[in-house]
Amino acid sequence: MTATVDTPATGGPIGRRMKRKEDPRLITGRGNYVDDMSLPGMLYMALVRSEIAHGKIKSIDTSAAKDRPGVYAVLTGEDLDVGAPLPMVWVPPGIEVKTPEHWPLARGEVNHVGDPVAVVVGGDKYGVIDAASQIVAEYDELPAVIDPEKALEDAAPLVHEDIGTNKTHEWALGGGDIDAAMSDADVVVERRIVNHRTAGAAIEPRGCIAEWRGESVTLWTSTQIPHLVRLFLAGELGVSEEKIRVIAPEVGGGFGSKLNHYAEEVLACYLSRQLGRPVKWLETRSENLATTTHGRDLIAYCKMGLKSDGTITGFHTKLVADLGAYYQLLTPFIPCFAAFVMSGCYKIPAVQTDIVGVFTNKFATDAVRGAGRPEATHAIEVMIDQAAAELGLDPLEVRRKNFIPAEDFPAEVAVGVVYDSGNYHGTLDKLLEHVDMDAFRKEQAELREKGVYRGIGFSTYVEICGLAPSRVVGPSGVGIQGGFWESAIVRVHPSGAATVYTGSSPHGQGHETGFAQIVAERLGIEPENVEVMHGDTDTGPMGMGTYGSRTLSVGGEAAGRAAVKVQEKAKKLAAHLLEAAPEDIELSGGRYQVKGSPDKGLALADISLAAYVPENIPDGMEPGLEETSFYDPENFVWPFGAHAAVVDVDPDTGKVEVVRYVAVDDCGRAINPLLIEGQVHGGIAHAIGQALFEQVVYNDEGQLITGTFVSYALPTAAELPSFETDRTETPSPVNDLGVKGVGEAGTIAATPTMVNAVMDALRPLGVTYMDMPLTPMRVWEAIQTAGSAEGGAS
């Protein structure tokens, strides 16, 4: 089933390495991000935020701010009258999730640094910041709850006194007899693996403009989910949904952090209504790092049972998830998403994941690129290397021994989900065509003689994406209160050009190019003549948004299906015009022609003109050439791959240098290899960032000490190598396009690859396992500790 890559499957637009249609405006400074827009009479909004982690609000003195010229409104939590708190949409059947009310402005108590306590609106961008700085809030401080494991102890102070516990919920997913699996094992390897808190850190911070006119409001907001934001605003503002228009204009990156509905969106709308003027809010980077969702933050207690030949008998993980003080959209669900891929690429008879969520006085965690799957993959892939080392086996052989074989697909794993298609040996084989292991081990030994500690690490991953079957993920299944389909309208114009309206909403992925390729192929025109419109609740069909690597396999498939409906109508019309039977019309080389008589054919432009000037169309056929499709997939899709990293560790400084990074991914059939490579590169860099540099750190008092890009260390070009990428193509049987997803693959595969590589380098120095981030100081300390332990033993 695995095909060679990079050859267009059809010779048509699908598979073409096409330059992006988005780029001409973006490379000339003509993009239109939220901050690039100004409206007549527009006012500016700024927030006053808590500087302490936990306390009762004693007083908020707004008088000086109110007295400033140019200030139009000052509100605190007591003044704000909205119809509903901010949403959290996971209600798992039979499980109680303790849920604190989360209002746009704090009421009575603050629960994390950055918790908004007041909002100011003024006529001047700088003046409104001056006014905000004159608002004085006083608190009776309460003890801050920071360490999630200490938070679960009986004597721990409570984040929410009224809830009575810091435990948010317990949730489990498993299959097979885990106790028997562990008894059957020759060895049980146990590790505590911390997957630390990170930030999405899109380079465009969040921002929005609300404009109330008459009974209707328009909100331009930097979001991944405009249609859902509209639905939530309807409840909060007490306004009927059709009177709300939400537009996601150009969005400067999301990475999950904009898969949310935030307080500021409500406040801007609320104040625009109150003041009768447009209100703009722009997040500063400091606000972004404090109050835009964080990701990860799980402590995993992993137990892997194996036979002495490396056969895995069972994998049991207990996850402690630090969720912060309040929930955002999916906060308590995200760690649970990890449980669905805890089998990895392996045939494991018993797999069990037990999750405990914890409140702390921090900002909420939620989806960040990968959202649960990087955490799961990190745990499994690090454990495989740890177990292989304990058993004295080659970690790649342990992987091969346990891979689900290609002939087993579709393959049901222990937790009950069905992997659609896969060839795990295939991607690993291809990876090893790029990495000569014998040569590497020889080089490694030679370098060690010279005091250079070089290591190689691998991971082989599978991910769950393409959310998803609504019946599985929705209210009566996993419990997310929504549907997970996508939609598209394909409209062919009289000239034969087309516009696609998608409910999916991009922020850098290249929808306008990829969807144009799909629709162009289905219609028999060129992608240059297909425009893709998105991100506007008034002009496109409803959609669930762009996240979870679902765009192509759900949204792209919907666009493809709408185009097929158009093609079917075009064939009927062509048959009428050519005086042939509809079943005799085929689309070939951009022409709707009679089978066997290629001289008798029409271009789409001929057919569309006839459809819009309907003097000669079949009886009963409606004029026009436009179709809609809503698509809800029957299963998830399961991309996979094999990654390798080569690193050098300087034992004197602890600095890790990435020498090579090689990735072989399989995301099903390729629509545009250029876009796939770009997604893989970005994902890998994101994960190398987590593995080596990035960490959101709160100190014991709950102060955020990584509140700017000075201290929150995103990797720069100078810290990364060029990446070597390759692919295999195993089509998905789930959708007609045969596609999977690739937006998160790099983030999912690369953290364990990096940790395994660094451990391979450090094993001769006695370091066998370390948590991320592998910063110079931590690596150096680990080397020192291991050295003194070995010195003591000798």
Partner 1 sequence: MAENVRVNVTVNGESRDSDVEPRLLLVHYLRDTLGLTGTHIGCDTSNCGACTVLLDGESVKSCTVLAVQADGSEVKTIEGMAPAGNGALHPIQEAFWEHHGLQCGYCTPGMIMAAADLLERNPNPTEEEVRHGLEGNLCRCTGYHNIVKSVMAAAESMSAAKGASA
Residue 717 as a binder of partner 1 (CB under 8 A): the answer is yes
For CA atoms 392, 397, 399, 401, give the dihedral sign.
negative
**Among 137-145, 648-656, 680-688, 759-767, which window interacts with partner 1 (CB under 8 A)?**
680-688
The encoded tokens of residue 179 equal 């106790």
Say which amino acid occupies 451.
G
Residue 252 engages partner 1 in binding (rule: CB under 8 A): yes
C-alpha 334/C-alpha 290 separation (Å) is: 19
693 binds partner 1 (CB under 8 A): no
When the beta carbons of 133 and 716 are compared against partner 1, the nearer one is: 716
Could you tell me how many residues of this chain bind partner 1 (CB under 8 A)? 55
Instruction: Please identify, among the stretches 102-110, 163-171, 675-683, 759-767, the one whose residues bind partner 1 according to the rule CB under 8 A.
Output: 675-683
Instruction: Mention every residue, 6+ apart, whose C-beta is less than 8 A from residue 52.
Output: 110, 113, 139, 141, 144, 702
**Which value, to the nearest 10 degrees, does the dihedral of the CA atoms of residues 21, 24, 30, 34 take?**
30
Among 246, 251, 762, 767, binds partner 1 (CB under 8 A): 251
Nearer to partner 1 by Cβ, of 542 and 674: the residue is 674
| Concatenated DSSP letters of 158-182 | PSSTTT--SEEEEEEEEES-HHHHH
Judged by CB under 8 A, does residue 284 bind partner 1? Answer: yes
**Residue with structure tokens 């000052």?**
74
- Residue 514 CB coordination number (10 Å): 29
Contact call for residue 723 and partner 1 (CB under 8 A): yes
Bridge partners of residue 138, in order along the sequence: 59
Answer yes or no whether residue 123 interacts with partner 1 by CB under 8 A. Answer: no
Nearer to partner 1, 33 or 630 (CB): 33
Residues between 37 and 96 with contacts to partner 1, criterion CB under 8 A: 38
**Could you tell me if 614 and 538 are in contact, meaning their C-beta atoms sit under 8 angstroms apart?**
no
For residue 736, give both structure tokens: 């007609």
What is the nearest approach in angstroms of partner 1 to the Cβ of residue 675?
7
What 3-state class would DSSP assign to 466?
coil
Q: How far is the CB of 48 from partner 1 (least distance, A)?
A: 17
Q: Is 510 in the site for partner 1 (CB under 8 A)?
A: yes
Buried b / exposed e along 439-467 (16+ C-beta atoms within 10 A): ebeeebeeeeeeeebbbbbbbbbbbbbbb
Q: Least distance (Å) from partner 1 to the CB of residue 37?
A: 8
Report d(CA 637, CA 667) in Å as an integer: 9
Among 10, 138, 192, 203, binds partner 1 (CB under 8 A): 203
Of 274, 284, 379, 269, which is closest to residue 335 (Cα–Cα)? Answer: 379
Least separation in angstroms between CB 413 and partner 1 = 31
Q: Which of residues 517-576 bind partner 1 (CB under 8 A)?
A: none
CB nearer partner 1, residue 155 or residue 717: 717
* 744 part of the interface to partner 1, by CB under 8 A: no
Measured from the CB of residue 270, what is the shortest distance to partner 1 in angstroms? Answer: 25
253 binds partner 1 per the rule CB under 8 A: yes
* Positions 413 through 432 that interact with partner 1 (CB under 8 A): none
Residue 249 found at the interface with partner 1 (CB under 8 A): no
Question: Is residue 507 part of the contact set for partner 1 (CB under 8 A)?
Answer: yes
Of 540, 760, 749, 733, nearest to 665 by C-alpha is: 749
Q: Which one, 85 or 741, has the nearer CB to partner 1?
A: 741
Q: Is 229 in the site for partner 1 (CB under 8 A)?
A: no
641 lies in the binding site for partner 1 (CB under 8 A)? no
Q: 508 or 738, CB closer to partner 1?
A: 508
Binding flag, residue 16, partner 1 (CB under 8 A):
no
- Binding of residue 202 to partner 1 (CB under 8 A): yes
Give the separation between CA 120 and CA 128, rounded to whole angstroms: 7
665 binds partner 1 (CB under 8 A): no
Q: Taking CB under 8 A as the rule, which mask of x and - marks residues 254-283 in contact with partner 1?
A: -x----------------------------
Beta strands in 668-754 (DSSP E): 724-727
If we measure between CA atoms, which residue out of 411, 409, 346, 417 comes closest to residue 383? 346
Give whichever of 684 and 755 is closer to partner 1, judged by the CB atom: 684
Give yes or no for a contact between 267 and 45, defined as CB atoms under 8 angstroms apart. yes
Residue 738 engages partner 1 in binding (rule: CB under 8 A): no
Picking from 364, 464, 379, the residue whose alpha carbon sits closest to that of residue 195 is 379
Q: Which is nearer to partner 1, 52 or 684 (CB)?
A: 684
- Decide if 217 contacts 237 (C-beta within 8 A): yes
Tell me how far, at minimum, the Cβ of 681 lies from partner 1, in Å.
Answer: 4
Interface stretch with partner 1, choices 157-165, 284-292, 313-321, 637-645 (CB under 8 A): 284-292
DSSP 583: G
Record the tokens describing residue 673, joined without a space.
């290899």
Site string for partner 1, 23-42 (x = CB under 8 A): xx-xxxxxx-x-xx-x----
CB atoms within 10 A of CB 168: 25
Check residue 238 for interaction with partner 1 (CB under 8 A).
no
Determine the Cα–Cα distance for residues 209 and 222; give it in Å rounded to an integer: 10
485 binds partner 1 (CB under 8 A): no
- Strand order across the beta sheet in which 43-49 lies: 71-76, 116-122, 43-49, 279-282, 207-213, 216-221, 244-247
Residue labelled with tokens 């996850």: 319
Show contacts with partner 1 in window 342-371 (CB under 8 A): none
Rounded least distance, CB 361 to partner 1, Å: 24
Q: Which range touches partner 1 (CB under 8 A), out of 175-183, 305-313, 630-638, 711-719?
A: 711-719
**155 binds partner 1, rule: CB under 8 A:** no
Q: Three-class SS of residue 574?
A: helix
CB 124 to partner 1: min, Å: 9
Cβ-count burial 72-104 (b if 16+ within 10 Å, e if not): bbbbbbeebebeebbbbbbebeeeebbbbebbb
Contact 439, 445 (CB under 8 A): no
The contact set with partner 1 (CB under 8 A) reads: 19-20, 22-24, 26-31, 33, 35-36, 38, 125-126, 201-205, 250-253, 255, 284-286, 507-510, 674-675, 677-678, 681-686, 708-710, 714, 716-718, 720, 722-723, 746
